[in-house]
Amino acid sequence: MEKLVNCPYKRPNALCRLICFPWAAGGTSQFAQWGKLFSSSIEVSSIRLPGRESRLKEPFAKDMTTVVNEITRVLLKELQEKPFAFFGHSFGSYISFAVALHLKEKYGLEPIHLFVSGAHAPNSEAFLPIKSIPICDAEDEDVLRHIQILGGTPSEFLQNEDIKKHLVLTFREDLRVLQTFSFEKAESNTHFSCDVTCFNGTEDKPHDLEAWRDLTSGDISFYKLPGGHFYLLEPSNEIFLTKHITRCIENAGL
- Structure pTM? 0.92
pLDDT (mean) for 185-189: 58
The CATH code of the domain that includes 226 is 3.40.50.1820
**Helix axes 64-81 and 161-179, enclosed angle (nearest 10):** 80
**Least confident stretch, 161-165, 188-192, 223-227:** 188-192
* Total number of domains in the chain: 1
Whether the per-residue pLDDT at 147 is higher than 80: the answer is no
Confidence band of 44 (pLDDT split at 50, 70, 90):
very high
**Least confident stretch, 16-30, 53-67, 161-175, 184-198:** 184-198
List b or e across 38-55, with b for residues whose CB sees 16 or more CB atoms inside 10 angstroms.
Answer: beeebbbbbbbbbbbeee
Given 45, 46, 89, 90, the catalytic residue? 90
Establish whether 46 is a catalytic residue.
no
Q: Which residues pair with 16 in a beta bridge?
A: 42
Q: Residue 111 is part of which domain span?
A: 5-252
Establish whether 90 is a catalytic residue.
yes
Whether the per-residue pLDDT at 166 is higher than 70: the answer is yes
Given 89, 120, 207, 229, the catalytic residue? 229
Whether the per-residue pLDDT at 123 is higher than 80: the answer is yes
pLDDT digits (tens, 9 = 90+) for 68-122: 999 999 999 999 999 999 999 999 999 999 999 999 999 999 999 999 999 999 9
Confidence band of 188 (pLDDT split at 50, 70, 90):
low
